[in-house]
Amino acid sequence: MSSGELLTVQPTELKFPFELKKQSSCSLQLFNNSDHYVAFKVKTTSPKKYCVRPNTGIVLPKSSCDVTVTMQAQREAPLDLQCKDKFLVQSVITPYGAEMKDISQDMFNKDNENVVEEYKLRVVYVPPPQPPSPVPEESEEGTSPRSSLLQNGKQNIGLFESGHRDVGELKAKLTEARVMLSKITEERNTIVQQAQQLQQELTSVKQATKNTKAGFSVLYCFIVGLLGILVGYLVRK
């Protein structure tokens, strides 16, 4: 991290993952340490090789700005991935409330007695990660490929036995569930039959009650008629 009175630039190196015929990018963060508006400009020794967004801008007081640097796809790799490209970040105080349109090249010209801070950054190429070896090698503890295969075989057998036990337990639970379902079905059928019998008995009781009421009405009429005859007979006498 490069730190000055105006800006703090992080990181101090631009690290690009290097792969032929592929673009790669990295980021810079510029933090304004001051209470002023600070204008910045990013330059490079290989402007055709890199794209900087934004390459100029203004960082507000106690604020930060992110800059993305993209390296164009390369057709050839440098020897030992060594890179001599350099970047330069220049910063200068601007009037309060300045905007992008107010930035000019003369602001970063030291010949005009401007106080310009500069931060130099070098470029580092990072090789891509290597794919794992298809042939297992001996570990630091001396484990051979054969022992690794045996261990893997034991693990697979253990997993098979565990799975077999799980299937057995599942079948047992399924059988138990079927037995319980059969019992519940039988009990339901029994309850339905009992309900039907109760319904039939209730219907019979209702019918018997109706018949009793009808017989009582006939008897009542007969008694009333008989009393009427007796009263008439007594009146005649």
* Structure confidence by residue, pLDDT tens digits, 41-87: 999 999 999 999 999 999 999 999 999 999 999 999 888 889 999 99
Which two tokens mark 177?
């569930």
Pairing relation of β-strands 13-17 and 117-126? parallel
Helix, strand, or coil here: 165? helix
The span from the CA of 8 to the CA of 12, in Å, is 10
* Structure confidence by residue, pLDDT tens digits, 189-228: 888 788 788 888 888 777 776 766 656 666 777 777 778 7
The span from the CA of 196 to the CA of 192, in Å, is 6
Contact 23, 71 (CB under 8 A): yes
Query: Residue-wise over 65-74: b if at least 16 C-beta within 10 A, else e?
Result: bebebebeeb
Kindly report the length of the chain: 237
Find, among 89, 97, 101, the residue nearest to 65 by Cα: 89
Helix, strand, or coil here: 163? helix
Domains and CATH numbers, the chain: 2-126 (2.60.40.10)
Helices (H) and strands (E) counted in the chain, each on its own, are 1, 10
Report pLDDT for 146.
Answer: 57
pLDDT reading at 7 higher than 90: yes
